[in-house]
Chains A and B, each alone.
Chain A
Amino acid sequence: MKIYFELNGVPQYPEVEPGESLLQLLRRLGMKSVKEGCGTGDCGACTVLVDGRAVRSCIAFAARAQGKRIITLEGLGTVNDPHPLQEAFLDAGAVQCGFCTPGMILVAYELLSRHPDPTPEEVRTAIVGNLCRCTGYRKIVDAVMLAAEWKREGRWR
């Protein structure tokens, strides 16, 4: 079945298999930031934004992408021109192994787009479905708070 969707602003017309997950499709299309940590929707490493909402792509069917706007971490910024959220994760030391990072950043992006002034507790609530085994979460919360501050200062594009 051929579907249409927008991936990081670029139209896509991929052939999808029945039963194929959104995770598999996105990785097949080269979006390797979409990580499989469990395959059962428990860890959040595969989180992507579908029409602005954080979705666990490992338990979503690829066909559900039809007509949607999907953003993966590749769509946020680049090494030479990172998004302020990505910059904040670096500044705060919020990245250890980096495997949960794509999902964390996208969940934070969703949070800050609807709520630019969260408390640390609200940040923790937003990332509660994204597991990190390295950091103990503190520096991830710091990063999101820093990015929120930058957003309020108008440093987001």
Chain B
Amino acid sequence: MAVSVAAKARDVVGQNVHKVDGPALVCGKPLFTLDMDVPGALVGKILHSPHAHAMIEAIDTSAAEAIPGVACILHFGNVPRIPHTTAGQGWPEPSPYDTVLFDRKVRYVGDRVAAVAATSEEAADEALRKIRVEYKVLPAVLSVDEALAPGAPVIHDEPDAEGIYDAQRNIAAAVDIPVGDVDRALAESPVTAEATCEIPYLQHTPIEPHCVIAYFDEDGRLVIRTSTQVPFHVRRIVARVLALPMSRIRVVKPRIGGGFGAKQEIILEPVAGALALRTGRPVRIAYTREEEFVASRTRHPMRVTVKLGAGRDGTLRAIDMEALSNTGAYGTHSLTVLSNVGSKTLPLYNKARHLRFHGKAVYTNLPVAGAYRGYGATQGYFALEVAMDILAEKLGLDPLELRQRNHIRVGETSPIFEKIGEGREGKAQIVRSCALPECLRIGAERIGWKRNRGRRRREGPWAYGVGMACAMQGSGITGIDMGAATIVMNEDGSFRLLVGATDLGTGSDTVLAQIAAEALGVSVDKVLVYSSDTDFTPFDVGAYASSTTYVSGLAVLKAAEDVRRQILDVAAAALEEAPEDLELSQGAVRSVRSGRAVTLADVGHRATYVVDQHQIAATASCVAPESPPPFAAFFCEVAVDTETGLVRVERFVAVADCGVAIHPKQAEGQLEGAVVQGIGHALYEEMLFSGRGRCVNPSFFDYKIPSALDVPEVEAILVPSEEPTGPFGAKSIAEVGINGPLPAISNAIYDAVGIRLTRAPFTPERVLSALRSRTG
């Protein structure tokens, strides 16, 4: 549902057109990575470490190599050692170079030991069984507290790693950013509140696990068809790891079966590439669901402590936020996720003048954490918004009012924008669009906030309560993210839009087509979108940091405006009128003076074949000029079974300001999907480990993500604002929705039964034990 405001009349922007790739998707066309049959492709499989921390003393592949059909086995002994990061980020890379393709040391249960390529699944599986590895098992570190203890085993003691903050103390990254004097401000604040909230290991679980096919084109170049969010970073990192010139690699991104950050990682591509290069044959690798859990990436488990200081009137004076992040065995995204815990949360309450964000990302012998939708903000908001609830209670103030008094508004700024960037300083910016007041008002109304809060309604064993939270995110990474777009006019007046931007299911191809179509005065079916192929589409950092609509969208808009000018020039010559007198809309160029018109097909034909022949086309780039935050308010009602501890989310209202929604239905879909993932985090999801660091629930049967019956019908409401720097007023929507459910549900449980759940997920066991310890 979208709340209408008087928006500028637009033909395509704001319309719920069919997704451009939708017809093929609903008909089951072979669009995904593994849907392409490559004749003669070998099956690649990976041997994972059974130990959390061990040295490989010896590896004997002779029995495995003797199996008929086994073509190649790679391991540390026969592959060059090139330190790199698997994080698909811009350059210079902010994550440490602490990973090699195959190492002598394994650092978690699931770490890569060897890779096999064989002519059949069976041969590959048998080879994995017959590789003999002698391990010298080392003491393992299975928590951040153990990792930081004096004398703890050092996980990254290799001499060639680069960029680790303090390898000897297992600290991958550290941040300490003070603004003002937070300790003094806290001490002098008449009212303070504190919350420590914890998030466990969580996995993205895209329904399509990681997969890749590597093959050679007619010229012997390595083609990597892969399920990725970052095709251009794949090309750069694979070139480094395989020591190939970038020009010898082509990365093709077909349709992607979801990513949520897990596919912002370069995991399987270099392995498949190495096997293909060694054998001279195509190789495909598909992760199983178990491998997806254990050996892809997870959200960073984190413990975040927030201390708030406020005046008696409820004006925040100080926020101290400390994060202890578990990056697992490798430091991919360790610094940047950590930084985002503070940078995406603290600006929301800019009335506080004294701020400090500090934290560490710590290595452990557990699975590797990486990018996950929300990217640290999710962890930060859990603690911040629970602390706000506690503070409101201490102040005797409605939590809604506390937010209303303190949140950032249009024309305001926060020093945090400048102080914390992506692994370096950020950039100052003011907030130019913010409909959070409306979001809060509408959400409160929908949930019946005034009526239901503090009412403690009971029905038998069920206790009901309502809770709320706010959040913001960004739209791309200021000054770092670059996206480019090429628009080519066909002679029939249609267009090709080539973008490196990476639609991984979000619908960005459709949004970008709408932006181009609006600017070119055509319907969306006249814009043929192609994304993304490093041989044919211009550069784009890829799909992460909520960047595509804003950054890539601005690039598309610039290219479209250039093409539009070229069209007007051709039409001016054809009509013998001045370009200033011409208007382009609905597939034709009309003179406002004479009323005469030429169709775009006429223009395309004329430029291609008739007079002054040339290709009407343009390429444009955009570097995120700012990162305008989308805002959201979350309200929910929960029911707590006081006999079993079961929590049910009865209603969930998410109200978001994403600027102008280019495609409202898709934007709602992003919000609904993010909220349901967040409800999963709050109630169900947690990877569990044995005492030896082995994940014991790596399946959908044992790691529960929400099914259709586990979640309510999420009410997603878009409140438009007009972001002046965005394409047609747009900002991002992809991530912000996942930040709300954890704190909103925790706060609602408090409203229902008076217990604070600060450790996710809020399982019946935890709820019941909290209820009992309170009454006991």
Contacts and interface: CB of A to CB of B under 8 A. Distances in A.
A124 B31 CA distance: 27
The size class of the interface chain A forms with chain B is: 35 or more
A96 B673 contact: yes
A70 to B, nearest CB: 14
A40 B507 contact: no
A39 B288 contact: yes
The size class of the interface chain B forms with chain A is: 35 or more
Interface stretch (B13-21, B84-92, B305-313, B519-527): B13-21
Contacts of A139: 665, 668-669, 672
Interface string A91-111: 111011111111001000000
A136 interface: yes
Interface in A1-38: 31-33, 35-38
A122 to B, nearest CB: 11
B28 A102 contact: yes
B22 to A, nearest CB: 5
A33 B506 CA distance: 19
A138 interface: yes
B226 interface: no
A38 B713 CA distance: 26
Given A90-B19, A105-B26, A37 B507 contact: no
Contacts of B22: 89-90, 95, 98
Interface string B1-33: 000000000000000101101111111111110
Contacts of B207: 35, 37, 43, 45, 97, 99-100, 131-133
A87 to B, nearest CB: 8
B713 A95 contact: no
Most A C-beta atoms less than 10 A away, residue of B29, B668, B707: B707
B27 A96 contact: no
Interface string B666-699: 1011001111110000000000000000000001
Contacts of A37: 207-209, 257, 289
A141 B713 contact: yes
A138 B717 CA distance: 13
Contacts of A91: 18
B669 A79 contact: no
Interface in B9-59: 16, 18-19, 21-32, 35
Closest 5 CB pairs of A and B: A33-B28, A97-B505, A99-B257, A136-B676, A98-B25
Interface of B: 16, 18-19, 21-32, 35, 204-209, 255-258, 260, 286, 288-289, 504-507, 665-666, 668-669, 672-677, 699-701, 705-709, 711, 713-714, 716
26 contacts: A32-B35, A33-B27, A33-B29, A35-B207, A35-B257, A37-B257, A38-B700, A39-B289, A42-B700, A73-B26, A73-B28, A82-B23, A93-B16, A96-B507, A97-B207, A97-B256, A97-B504, A99-B206, A99-B207, A99-B258, A101-B26, A102-B28, A133-B673, A135-B672, A136-B672, A138-B713
